[in-house]
């Protein structure tokens, strides 16, 4: 038996590079640079990765963090603003009260403390001198009409204060 088999290093140098199939009409270009003897192709893991492969995950994480921070600021700033003296709220409404009765009038949106309240007479048999505010809280006020006159009267109210 003759040992005509090439040695492992010789097989790589003697073999010509494989040719890729080409479309009709395309021209094959020969590489002017010769591969050095014993050149080995690097595995995919050792090749230089593209910018997006290297930094894509970092950019996605940075985008998510930015979105979370923006949401926290847009929600947090109004809350802090409200806690530190925030927004003034002005509301108004109407109520009817009868002679000898008392009524609880609730604000549509509660205040953080009892607001500045103004009550005006609108129409009816008795006037503002016939009613008095007996209790005022952040969410409502209580008014009574101890007048001996009969009937019901309409009043308008306006409240201004800090929003809860």
55 and 96 both lie in a single domain: no
User: In degrees to the nearest 10, what's the CA dihedral of 157, 161, 163, 164?
Assistant: -90
97 and 122 both lie in a single domain: yes
Residue-number span of the structural domain to which 72 is assigned? 48-83
68 and 95 both lie in a single domain: no
* Domain total of the chain: 2
Does 14 reside within a domain? no
The single-letter DSSP state of residue 137 is -
Strands (E), the chain: 88-98, 102-106, 116-123, 132-136, 140-144, 152-162
112 and 55 both lie in a single domain: no
With tokens 């609108």, the residue in question is 122
Predicted TM-score (pTM) of the model is 0.47
Minimal CA–CA distance to 136: which of 100, 99, 161?
161
Q: What is the pLDDT along the chain (164 residues), one digit of tens a residue?
A: 556 665 655 554 545 555 555 555 555 555 555 666 666 676 666 666 677 777 888 889 989 999 888 888 777 766 665 555 558 899 999 998 888 888 999 999 999 999 999 998 888 777 778 788 999 999 999 999 887 777 888 889 999 999 88
Distance CA 91, CA 143 (A): 17
Does 19 reside within a domain? no
Does 4 reside within a domain? no
- Domain end among 58, 83, 108: 83
């Amino acid at each position: 038996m003759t040992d005509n088999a090439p040695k492992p290093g010789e097989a790589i140098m003697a073999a010509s590079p494989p040719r890729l199939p080409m479309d009709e009409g395309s021209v094959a270009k020969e590489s002017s640079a010769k591969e050095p003897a014993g050149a080995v192709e690097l595995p995919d893991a050792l090749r230089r990765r593209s910018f997006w492969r290297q930094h894509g995950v970092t950019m996605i994480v940075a985008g998510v963090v930015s979105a979370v921070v923006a949401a926290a600021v847009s929600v947090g700033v109004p809350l802090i603003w409200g806690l530190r003296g925030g927004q003034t709220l002005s509301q108004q409404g109407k109520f009817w009260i009868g002679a000898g009765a008392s009524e609880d009038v609730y604000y549509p949106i509660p205040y953080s403390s009892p607001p500045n309240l103004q009550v005006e007479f609108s129409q009816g048999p008795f006037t503002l001198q016939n009613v008095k505010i007996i209790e005022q809280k952040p969410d409502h006020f209580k008014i009574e009409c101890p007048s001996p006159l009969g009937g019901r009267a309409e009043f308008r109210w306006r409240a201004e204060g800090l929003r809860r």
